[in-house]
Amino acid sequence: MNRAAKGFPPVIDAEIKTLILGSFPSEKSLREAEYYAYKQNQFWRLVGEVIGEPLLPKMDYAERKRMLLKHHIGLWDVVGACEREGSSDSNIRNQRDNDFSGVLSKSKKLRRVFFNGKKAAQKELIFKSRYETVVLPSSSPANTMRFEEKLKQWRLIARKTC
């Protein structure tokens, strides 16, 4: 049985220069009302390594979000609501995408959009004409790529743009 679920609001401010887009929160994230709450997901560890801040699961969630914004990084998902059994992106049905117009109008300094995995990257064309875009390997534990290999690609987030 599929359940209708609604995602989270964006983590943004007027100062973000980079936006990381995921697909849709996992069941654990929806229960906890936190992006990437599933401890086996490597998102917070990857971003923490990239920005040089220890974004550990034991750190207060509000503080992790503040650290992203301190480093001018925003966070959101491409899917705003859907039906899905389990947490797999392949199970997403009746997908309703987020409307990015408000985020893009508020974030005048935005220059780069990174996609956390292939599902999120399905919306790359929306951004490609105005921003630098990069598809990253998914931080999900379903992606069995070694952490060090993922990190090499995620380090592009720290690269300064012209």
Catalytic sites, residue numbers: 41
For tokens 């923490």, the residue is 48
What six digits make up the tokens of 123?
């919306």
Residue 125 one-letter amino acid: L
Residue 67 half-sphere exposure toward CB, CA atoms < 13 A = 18
- What angle do the packed helices 61-70 and 43-51 form, to 10 degrees? 40
Cα(110)–Cα(15) distance, integer angstroms = 8
For tokens 């654990």, the residue is 28
DSSP states of 90-115: GG-EEEEE---HHHHHH-TT--EEEE
Longest dimension (CA), the chain: 49
